[in-house]
Amino acid sequence: MCYDIQGDILNKRITKEEIEKLYLKWKTPKHVIAHCRAVASVAVTLGRELNKNGYSLDLSLIRGSALAHDVARVEEEHALKGAEILEGLGYCEEAAIVRVHMTYPRFHEKDQIDECDLVCLADRLVREDRYVGLEARMEYIMNKAPVSEEIKAHIMEGKARTKSFIAQIESVIGRSIDSLLDIEGRLGELLKQVEKPGRYIGGEVNAVRKAPHSVRARLAFAFPDLYEIGMSYLGLQILYDAVNKTEGLYCERVFAPAPDMAALMRREGLPLFTLETKTPLAEMDMLGFTLQYEMSYTTILEMLELAGLPLYAKERGEEWPVVAAGGPCAFNPEPLADFIDLFLLGDGEELLPQVLRLLGECREQGLSKRDFLEKACLLPGVYVPSFYEPVYNSDGTIKELCKLYAGAPDKVLKNIISDLENASFPLKPVIPTIEAVHDRSVTETFRGCTRGCRFCQAGMIYRPVRERSKDKILALAKGQLEATGNDELSLLSLSTSDHSAFRELTLELMDYCKEHNVSLSLPSLRIDKFAFEVLSRIQEYKKSGLTYAPEAGSQRLRDVINKGVTEEDIYTSVAEAIRLGWRHIKLYFMIGLPTETYEDLEGIAGIARRIMDINHEINGPGGGRFRLTVSVSNFVPKAHTPFQWERQNTPEEFAAKHRYLEQSMKIRGVTLNYHDSFTSVCEAVFARGDRRCAKALLAARRLGCHLDGWSEHFRRELWEQAFAESGIDPEFYAFRERGQDELLPWTHIDCGVSREFLLRERKKAYAAETTADCRHGCRGCGINKFVACEQEGIYGH
């Protein structure tokens, strides 16, 4: 033991940084360093598993001594020499382990397993830089040099002792060490038993390979849905590219396994792993979940479970990765606050690498997770939920938010990239092996939207509008198409037609795509005269459906939600479309909007009938083979919108409205689709929920909920049970109108749009007054306090 002057035990542990210096000083060969790192990772994994089962092993001691165990490998008596070096620096406990690692006589009994046992065991399971297991390692030793019978017997004896020690550990952790450490060896058997095994193999073209031990911080980017969904998501490609471009950082990917694979992994005790290197998530420095949709939350919990991580952040000590989350749903992070260590708000392509670099530095300097979080919360856009604690009133509303760490900011402002033109964008996206939902190149044209629809969260939280120039977009699109061999290109933004150079951009892209046999797709296109010109050229042969989103059935209600579309616009445009040969029109509406009456619903049916009439006028009484699809979704009030105080309709109200629409839309040639109303209730609870909602999530997960965004996996009865068991009442969270002065759970999260603006917009909504696009002049939303709005007033007042 080492004592300082006061006689207290010094618990200082050797840091990664110091070990790096030792490697340099003692000329430790590269392959030996790689071996040390592999031993450290095996030993720490075992320690972590034991700690999960009631042990309290010092994982920093394990890591430090394993990393240092062969530091003096090129010296005579390297174990003794290594111990001396460590002792000289005051690391006596590390020294004690290093000293005995070559001659370790016997492992402790099950109830006394210590750090030294694990380091010495790990050393016997690793050959060079890989886990190979005891058998292979022993075979290697026996064959390395001719040995006498006596030594052979000695080795066999040692092997038998090690074997029985392994059995003891396995009886504690309840799974085989092989299943924990030899994922590659076990995976093939699993892949032969599941559907679409291509989801789990990685190795795609443009996937990034780095030597895991050569980087300072490793991130597993976790998408809480299946591979083919996640791989269609541009945000993943942007962040994967941005992190991997940064030296010293490595971003790998992990997706939710489908139910068949998840069940098999559970049965076989195989932990969730990254696609790139098949590393268990527990060995990462950080897991980063993307929050695209409230109904993915139970899948996040399932992924943590499959990774073997404790679900609650407070139960994850130093040995576990930092769990981060970002994306649109992070703007009300509270329902996940108990499970996540830090949230990243706003634009991530700069922030994420910055946070990872900081984590790497902290790890190297031997700083604690807490130290890291204290530093991280000072970065713009980083929210550390454990630094805050809400206090509730007796009626269940929030009384105040107490800060538990004085250094944390009172309000967390999202991170904003002001210069999108020069922001990182992937030219070589990973190309999915199995067909993704969208198998195409995607180029982001601008971020943000200025139309100001009052129900739309994206329109508020992504402000201000930041454009890429036409030339930049063309260069990115061409670069991507060349690097991927894709035959489809799509432009991405919240409102394609709103790009200030949309006309020129589209015309040039059309020429390029035509020349290169690439099909161009322009989602959320405003259907005007120019759009028809474009569409008639690019969709010559596949006149698939044309989509309009009036969102509400009457002009009054469209004014309430500030959706600047008139019925005349739609009818003129539909007539033109039908004349040009379109045979399928799709309409999107929302029901349950604030101030909605049955007259507004009748308006939806009225629009459908009018469109059918227009078709008859053009195509004659038979109408041709014309189809109209009307899709109706249920309004879910979202945080940071003018409707954040509104009540949601109950499932009964929704059901009645669905019935009404079904009755009034029995029109030949018209198909009505609507969404499950209980899913909408769950969305509403978590979209505006507080920290207490974590209990409902956990209950739902315990009952087996996962992949809730898939109608075939969503189970209403389990969710009802989860709400009942956890005491989370949808009445309070979804169907209750909030008082204007109520402290909302996301009050401390700042997306840059002011509360005053939202209130003003809400008032105008009730007066059915519209607010014009801020390209006609500033509407005072508040974002320009933080960043210049380049698009402000460009159309003139």
Partner 1 sequence: MATSFVLKFSKSGYARYTSHLDMLRFFKRAFRKSGIALRYSQGFNPHPRMGFAQPLSLGYAGANELLEFETASEHEAEQILRALDGEMPEGIRIISVQAFVPADFHIRSLAAATDSADYTVLLPYSCSQEELDKKLAAYLSQKEIMVQKRRKKDKKLVAEDIRPKLRSLSGRADGKSAALTMTLDAGSTANLSPELVISSFLVSAGLDIPRYKIDVVREQINFVNNLQF
Q: Which residues bind partner 1 (CB under 8 A)?
A: 188-193, 196-198, 200-205, 207, 431, 433-435, 439, 482-487
Q: Which is nearer to partner 1, 441 or 450 (CB)?
A: 441
The tokens for 430 are: 């990973």
Q: How far is the CB of 434 from partner 1 (least distance, A)?
A: 5
Q: How far is the CB of 192 from partner 1 (least distance, A)?
A: 4
Q: Which is nearer to partner 1, 197 or 669 (CB)?
A: 197
Chain-centroid distance, C-alpha 688: 19
Q: How far is the CB of 551 from partner 1 (least distance, A)?
A: 36
Q: Which amino acid is located at 692 in the chain? A: R
Q: Which is nearer to partner 1, 203 or 793 (CB)?
A: 203
Q: Which is nearer to partner 1, 75 or 488 (CB)?
A: 488
Q: How far is the CB of 273 from partner 1 (least distance, A)?
A: 12
Q: How far is the CB of 541 from partner 1 (least distance, A)?
A: 9
d(CA 752, CA 465): 13
Q: How far is the CB of 227 from partner 1 (least distance, A)?
A: 12
CA distances from 566 to 148, 484, 748 (A): 93, 41, 37
Q: Give yes or no for a contact between 326 and 290, defined as CB atoms under 8 angstroms apart.
A: yes
Q: Which is nearer to partner 1, 203 or 727 (CB)?
A: 203
Q: Is 143 helix (H, G, I), strand (E, B) or coil?
A: helix
d(CA 101, CA 122): 10
d(CA 45, CA 48): 5
| 105 C-beta neighbours (distance < 10 Å), count | 8
Q: Give yes or no for a contact between 531 and 499, defined as CB atoms under 8 angstroms apart.
A: no
Q: How far is the CB of 712 from partner 1 (least distance, A)?
A: 22
Q: How far is the CB of 213 from partner 1 (least distance, A)?
A: 20
d(CA 502, CA 451): 16
**Closest C-alpha to 722, from 688, 749, 748, 697:** 697
Count of residues making up the chain? 797
Q: Which is nearer to partner 1, 198 or 777 (CB)?
A: 198
Q: How far is the CB of 449 from partner 1 (least distance, A)?
A: 33
Q: How far is the CB of 188 from partner 1 (least distance, A)?
A: 7
Q: Which is nearer to partner 1, 106 or 514 (CB)?
A: 514
Q: Which is nearer to partner 1, 188 or 620 (CB)?
A: 188
Stretch (H or E) spanning 324: strand 322-326
d(CA 641, CA 646): 10
Stretch (H or E) spanning 460: helix 458-461
Q: How would you label 205-217 residue by residue, b for 16+ Cβ within 10 Å and e otherwise? A: eebbebebeebbb
d(CA 629, CA 418): 40
Q: How far is the CB of 125 from partner 1 (least distance, A)?
A: 20
* Nearby residues of 115 by Cβ (< 8 Å), 6 or more positions away: 47, 57, 58, 61, 62, 65, 93, 97
DSSP code for 136: H
Q: Which is nearer to partner 1, 192 or 785 (CB)?
A: 192
d(CA 470, CA 509): 10
CA distances from 285 to 65, 272, 274, 339 (A): 19, 15, 13, 16
Q: Which is nearer to partner 1, 189 or 662 (CB)?
A: 189
Q: Give yes or no for a contact between 495 and 525, defined as CB atoms under 8 angstroms apart.
A: no
Torsion of CA 694, 695, 701, 707, to 10 degrees: -40
Q: How far is the CB of 232 from partner 1 (least distance, A)?
A: 15
Q: Is 279 helix (H, G, I), strand (E, B) or coil?
A: coil
Q: Give yes or no for a contact between 315 and 339, defined as CB atoms under 8 angstroms apart.
A: no
Q: How far is the CB of 253 from partner 1 (least distance, A)?
A: 14
Q: How far is the CB of 514 from partner 1 (least distance, A)?
A: 15
Label residue 3 exposed, middle or buried (CB < 10 Å: 0-12, 13-18, 19+).
exposed
d(CA 337, CA 269): 28
The tokens for 127 are: 């050959």
The tokens for 372 are: 């890291």
d(CA 617, CA 638): 41
Per-residue 3-state assignment (H helix, E strand, C coil) for 362-389: HHHCCCCHHHHHHHHCCCCCEECHHHEE
Q: Give yes or no for a contact between 255 and 225, defined as CB atoms under 8 angstroms apart.
A: yes
Q: How far is the CB of 175 from partner 1 (least distance, A)?
A: 19
Q: How far is the CB of 520 from partner 1 (least distance, A)?
A: 16
d(CA 42, CA 63): 9
Q: Which is nearer to partner 1, 199 or 688 (CB)?
A: 199
Place of tokens 């020129």: 504
Q: Which is nearer to partner 1, 137 or 657 (CB)?
A: 137
Q: Which is nearer to partner 1, 10 or 483 (CB)?
A: 483
Q: Which is nearer to partner 1, 4 or 189 (CB)?
A: 189
Strand order of the β-sheet with 286-290 is: 249-255, 217-223, 286-290, 322-326, 342-344, 382-383
Q: Which is nearer to partner 1, 439 or 742 (CB)?
A: 439
Q: Which is nearer to partner 1, 298 or 441 (CB)?
A: 441
DSSP code for 194: S
Q: How far is the CB of 659 from partner 1 (least distance, A)?
A: 40
Q: Which is nearer to partner 1, 439 or 602 (CB)?
A: 439
